[in-house]
Amino acid sequence: MPLGIIMPTQQSLLVSLPMYDANLPKSLSSNIFSASDLPTLSGIADEAEILSSLQRPKKIVDGIERPFLCKPKDDLRKDARMMEFTATINCLLSKYPESR
């Protein structure tokens, strides 16, 4: 039974607004921001892989084997800033292909 919790991946944290289309049927316009294509938690296993580092993060995966780190008792502000920085770099690299 899925838990319905969206994984905080870069894809799910960035808002992508749809292009305006006057011909879009109303049935589709209500589902523009649907979370159906975002990865969600389906459960928690009894075992976890603990990585060897100072903060001992846990590695979790979903049915498609996406690695995801969980860090307990840590200041996540630094991680959030790093995610913002990498999102900006990714945006710039996708906008200007010659910079790759």
**Domain parsing of the chain, residue ranges:** 10-99
Q: How confident is the model over 17-63, as pLDDT tens digits?
A: 666 666 766 655 555 556 566 777 777 667 777 767 776 666 666 66
What pLDDT score was predicted for residue 38? 73
pLDDT for the residue numbered 87:
82
Relative to beta strand 49-50, strand 58-60 is: antiparallel
- Other Cβ atoms within 10 Å of 71 Cβ, number: 14
Tell whether pTM > 0.85: no
The tally of CA atoms less than 13 A away on the side-chain side of residue 81 is 4
Ranges assigned E (strand) in the chain: 49-50, 58-60, 68-70
Contact 29, 61 (CB under 8 A): no
- Stretch among 17-21, 77-81, 94-98 having the lowest mean pLDDT: 17-21
For residue 40, give the nearest of 84, 9, 76, 70 by alpha carbon. 9
